[in-house]
Chain A
Amino acid sequence: MKEQIQEAAARITAGYRLTDEAIGALAETRDILTLGMLADEARRLRHGTDTTFVRVAEVRVPLDDGARLEIPAAAREVRISDRTDSLTTLIPHVRRVVAAADGVPVSAFSLEALEAQAAISGRRLADLLAALRDAGADLIAEAALDQLSHAEHALEQVRKAGLGLARLTVQHTAGTAERLEHIIRARALQQSLGWIESFAPLGRSWPPGAPSTGYEDVRQVALARLLVDNIASIQVDWGRYGPKLAQVALTVGADDVDGVSPVDDTGEGRRRSPLEDIRRNILAAGLVPVERDGARRRVMS
């Protein structure tokens, strides 16, 4: 099995396509150490030891009437989420968030929700995106490749509207075949689009009582790095998967950490700085922390 994995990696490095059989072997391997090591090499070739992270302020809309909107000073991306069922009524709220963000890049909503809303309301997706752009949003927060009805078309509209995409995501994963399909799909999308900067390969939700396992997650991150070699960044979410798995993911191909809180945790009477925590975890993985903002610009500290 080890030889098979190494041979597959050599083919990837040399720019050859893998046979379906070779890809299948990679997707099923239990030799996560060899797989992780190869993915780590691929990641280091591209990014060295630099590991970016972004502190994100989550804002839910609609905002409460009259409530003051305060964006934590440490936020490097403001992410608008929640209801997209009537975007027209939300646009004024997006404007308020953009004003409060005061120059910090603002990302908003998921592309699949916008696509669904366009279908329901009979409006064009392009118009919804344009309205968001005109309200001052910089990016669509996420696009789940397994949830979009017409992924390529929807993503093209994002680009045409002059918006960016914070990251390409996957909503559900169940089973090896589906996981592999997502990776191949991400690669294919980028082949035709060419401008996706970040892919978060771990499923964002899972069936109750059956979360993915550590082996599955490591394999998925490593495979994403090895097979999706046309997207620069492989991302893992700090808040969603927790520091332990996120840190391990950084050693098997991920190079970017999303979802770091901009607010100190003062629970249990003890102050904890997420900034210290993320830096400590990245350093303990033998890597170098680099803060970035939502527009992927490095933040000088």
Chain B
Amino acid sequence: MSIEALAEKARAGARLNEAEALEMYLSAPTPLLGQLADQQRWKRHPDRAVTYIIDRNVNYTNVCVARCSFCAFYRPVGSPEGYVLGFDEIFAKIDETIALGGGQLLLQGGHNPDLPLEWYEDLFRAVKSRYPAFRLHALSPPEVLHLSRLAQTTVPDVVRRLVAAGLDSIPGGGAEILVDRVRKLLHCYSKASADEWIDVMRHAHRAGLRTTATMMYGSVETPAERIEHMGRLRALQDETAGFTAFIAWSYQPEHTLLQGVEATAVEYLRTLATARLFLDNFPNLQASWVTQGAKVGQLSLAYGANDMGSVMIEENVVRAAGAAYCMDEIEIVRNIEDAGFEARRRNMHYDVLGGPVFRERQVPRLLELAVARADGHRSVPAELINYPARSRAERDRRTRT
């Protein structure tokens, strides 16, 4: 089919198949892709609203046995740079988040063999008893899978236990590209195959949880594999309708084993626009200003995105790989309004909570992102002793101390 015929099909709101979406991605002029995506975006969101959330991205540990080749964040077990945040440190971060008008933690971390399922249950319970209304958007599918392996129980059981402890929703991290050829090349097949990632999400949706879905593109995959990834997500969404949003972000090569170069801004906008056309059952598409910067992040609103993602209070993973963009609520709202939209604060379920917090009360300005821990802070949380250590390195450390 010609690009014009495909464009007509998209304009009419008909579903594109994978081959058609690939053809559009590869060959449609960038402004045409943008216009088609923009039309679909307006059909879904005719009210001029662009949403964002105030939450805090907390990485509770950087110790990880998965060792994905695209990751600059993890440290191997026993590394002197490895850390686990203590419950008190996490509470302090929640206090800061609440002060900035936030109501949720996005909690993700490495696959640390010395943190058993009980540690997570205790943490979630402790958070919920201190902050009953506070939301926990936590543990991407590979982390859930890791816990099921550690605890030698099933994924539905892990999900059930975590929900009982306070889990509210699951972030779509760890998807990278849901094609096993790519996952093997990225050394992330063993942490979760494409089927396993999808399966965790299926169980989460069946358990009544809402989740997001991500795509890390621009590493070793082909354009066809990007579309295949979106195809897997679309199929599951047809089945469960459990995804709230799709977030595409470009692979950040600095400090990684895999190295390489970052995909360009135009490739990002084309990928985003194609996602808006192809993922016709996803209500929301987030702009990845964290990897693209504020300017291209704002331009995403013309290429299919209807959400500016999170007011980043803290970021460790993408920053470790070279990107360090920062926008506080004032900046995010300025960008939304400058593009002609109305800024609406939301929760993870995309329920609108209200307008900007800084217009209601004074909040501190955030001119740089916080980190998980200050440099040189090496303390080990006291409560860790309550949980059995699995790794030799951790057992040796405990013996020494």
- Which of chain A's residues have a CB closer than 8 A to the CB of B259? 270
Tell me if A87 counts as interface (CB < 8 A to partner B).
no
Answer whether A213 and B265 are a contact pair too, CB < 8 Å, given A33-B34, A268-B254. Answer: no
| Nearest residue, chain A, Cβ from B255 | A268
Interface size on B, residues (CB 8 A): 32
Q: Which of A189-228 contact B (CB under 8 A)?
A: 209-218
The reply to whether A248 and B261 form a contact with Cβ atoms under 8 Å apart is no
Q: Are B264 and A214 in contact (CB under 8 A)?
A: no
B299 → chain A, closest Cβ, in Å? 4
A30 to B265, CA, bound (A): 20
Contacts A251-B30, A285-B266, A286-B30 hold; do A245 and B296 have CB atoms under 8 A apart? yes
A244 touches B267 (CB 8 A): no
Asked whether A244 and B30 contact (CB < 8 A) given A214-B298, A277-B261, the answer is no
Q: Is the CB of A213 within 8 A of B31?
A: no
A contact residues around B338 at 8 Å (CB): 213, 215-216
Contacts A214-B297, A286-B30 given; indicate if A244 touches B340 (C-beta within 8 A): no
List which B274-309 residues lie within 8 A (CB) of chain A.
292-299, 302
How far apart sit A280 and B263, CA to CA, in the bound complex (Å)? Answer: 9
Please name the residue on chain B nearest to A276 by beta carbon.
B261
Interface string of B201-231 (1 = CB under 8 A from A): 0000000000000000000000000000000
CA distance A214 to B266 in the complex (A): 13
Contact of B266 with A251 in the complex, beta carbons under 8 Å? yes
CB neighbours (8 Å) of B114 from chain A are: none
Chain A, 4-56, CB within 8 A of any chain B CB: 30, 32-34, 36-37, 40
CB nearest to A245 among chain B residues: B295
A248 touches B296 (CB 8 A): yes
CA–CA, A40 and B299, complex, Å: 16
Of B29, B302, B335, chain A has the most CB atoms within 10 Å of the CB of B302
**Is A244 a contact partner of B265 (Cβ separation < 8 A)?**
yes
A242 sits at the interface (CB 8 A): yes
Which A residue sits closest to B32, measured CB to CB?
Answer: A37
Select one of A33, A209, A212, A243 contacting B31, CB under 8 A.
A33
Chain B, Cβ-Cβ closest to A283: B264
Q: How far is the CB of B3 from chain A (nearest CB, A)?
A: 13
B-side contacts of A286, CB under 8 Å: 29-30, 266
**Given the complex of chains A and B, what is the CA–CA distance between A286 and B264 in angstroms?**
12
Per-residue contact bits, chain B 223-263, to A (CB 8 Å; 1 contact, 0 not): 00000000000000000000000000000001100010101
Q: Could you mark each residue 262-300 of chain A with 1 if its beta carbon is under 8 Å from any beta carbon of chain B, else 0?
A: 000000101010000100110011100000000000000
Q: Once the chains are docked, how many angstroms separate the CA of A217 from the CA of B294?
A: 12
Q: Name the A residues within 8 Å of B92 (CB-CB).
A: none
Q: Is B35 interfacial (CB-CB < 8 Å)?
A: yes
CA of A244 to CA of B296, assembled, Å:
7
Given the contacts A33-B31, A33-B35, A218 and B266 also touching, CB distance less than 8 Å? no
Bitwise interface map of B from 36 to 47 toward A, beta carbon under 8 Å scored 1, else 0:
001000000000
Interface residues on chain A, size class: 20 to 34
Q: Are A242 and B294 in contact (CB under 8 A)?
A: no
* B294, A211: Cβ atoms closer than 8 Å: yes
Given contacts A247-B264, A247-B265, A248-B296, contact A213 B335 (CB under 8 A): yes
Query: Which residues of chain B have C-beta atoms less than 8 A from A217's C-beta?
Result: 295
Contact check, A248 vs B266: say whether CB atoms are below 8 A apart.
yes
Q: How far is the CA of A218 from the CA of B293 in the complex (A)?
A: 15
Complex Cα distance, B269 from A286, in Å, reads: 13
Give the interface centre of B263, B266, B322, B340 by most chain A CB atoms within 10 Å.
B266
Smallest Cβ-Cβ distance to B265: which chain A residue:
A244
Q: How far does the Cβ of A57 sit from chain B's closest Cβ, in whole Å?
A: 24
Q: Closest Cβ of chain B: how far from A126's Cβ, in Å? A: 41
Contacts of A218 in B (CB 8 A): 299
Tell me which residues from 15 to 62 in chain B have a Cβ below 8 Å from any Cβ of chain A: 29-31, 34-35, 38
Is B292 a contact of A244 with CB atoms below 8 Å?
A: yes
B144: shortest Cβ distance to chain A, in Å? Answer: 33
Whether B299 and A214, one on each chain, are in contact in the complex, defined by CB atoms closer than 8 angstroms, is yes
Which residues of A sit under 8 angstroms from B38, Cβ to Cβ? 33
Q: Is B334 an interface residue (CB 8 A)?
A: yes
The CA-CA distance from A248 to B209 in the complex, in Å, is 38
Contact A284 B266 (CB under 8 A): yes
A103 to chain B, nearest CB (A): 33
Answer yes or no: B339 CB below 8 A from chain A CBs: yes
Asked if B302 and A33 sit within 8 Å, CB to CB, the answer is: yes
Interface centre among B254, B267, B299 (most CB of A within 10 A): B299
Q: CA separation between A247 and B334, bound complex, in Å?
A: 23
CA distance A213 to B299 in the complex (A): 9
With beta carbons under 8 angstroms apart, the residue of B31, B264, B292 that contacts A281 is B264
* Inter-chain contact B267/A284, CB cutoff 8 Å: yes
- A244 near B264 with CB under 8 A, answer yes
- Assess A30 versus B339: contact at CB under 8 Å? Given A36-B31, A251-B31: yes
Contact check, B339 vs A245: say whether CB atoms are below 8 A apart.
Answer: no
Residue of A34, A212, A244, A268 ringed by the most chain B CB atoms within 10 A: A244
Residue in B254, B296, B340, B367 whose beta carbon sits within 8 Å of that of A214 in the complex: B296
**Bound-state Cα–Cα, A215 to B287, Å:** 14
Q: What are the residues of chain B within 8 A of A245 when measuring CB–CB?
A: 265, 293, 295-296
Can you offer 28 A-B residue contacts whose CB atoms are under 8 A?
Answer: A30-B339, A30-B340, A33-B35, A34-B35, A37-B31, A37-B35, A211-B294, A214-B296, A215-B298, A215-B302, A215-B339, A218-B299, A244-B264, A244-B265, A245-B293, A245-B295, A245-B296, A247-B264, A248-B265, A248-B266, A251-B31, A268-B255, A268-B322, A270-B254, A277-B261, A281-B264, A285-B266, A286-B266
Please provide the 8 A-B residue pairs with the shortest distance between their CB atoms, ordered closest to farther.
Answer: A214-B295, A30-B340, A244-B265, A37-B31, A214-B298, A214-B299, A284-B264, A213-B338
Given A214-B297, A277-B261, A280-B261, 18 other A-B contacts at CB below 8 A? Answer: A30-B339, A32-B302, A33-B35, A33-B38, A37-B31, A213-B338, A214-B296, A214-B298, A215-B299, A215-B339, A218-B299, A244-B293, A244-B295, A245-B295, A248-B265, A248-B295, A251-B266, A281-B266
